[in-house]
Amino acid sequence: MSYSSYPHYPPSFVAPFPAYATPVVHNALLGALIGSATAAATQLQVPAQQQAAYPLGKILKTGVATGIATALVTVLGQTISPHHSKVATTATLFVAGTALLYTLSKND
């Protein structure tokens, strides 16, 4: 059975940025989501009397900071080990994420 009679359809999604930037953007968004969720959970655990004046601002600040840090660490991981960047990126993400959240929690 020949499939040559079926038309070839182009891909439905084409990334607007180069292929090497896709993991950077993906990990930045993932880092921002995880950082924001962590900050929101932290805000929910704080008693009402001790909450910050602008909890939404703190959540957004943490989300942006973790997103940028995750993007930078992804680039660093790809630079350190381009052929095994997932292993290097994951290890570097763990260390940088731990240090970043420790630093952000100390600056309350």
Tens-digit pLDDT profile for residues 63-88: 898 888 888 888 877 777 767 667 76
| Domain-embedded: residue 37 | yes
pLDDT confidence of residue 51: 67
What is the distance, to the nearest Å, from the Cα of residue 7 to the centroid of all Cα atoms in its chain?
A: 38
Q: Which two tokens stand for residue 5?
A: 């009679």
3-state SS, residue 90: helix
Of the candidates 19, 106, 35, which has an alpha carbon nearest to the alpha carbon of residue 70?
35
Task: Supply the pTM of this predicted model.
Answer: 0.66
Domain limits for position 26: 22-106
Q: Identify which has the larger pLDDT, 23 or 51.
A: 23
At 5 the pLDDT is: 61
Residue 51 within any structural domain of the chain: yes
Task: Classify residue 96: in a domain, yes or no.
Answer: yes
For the chain, the domain total comes to 1
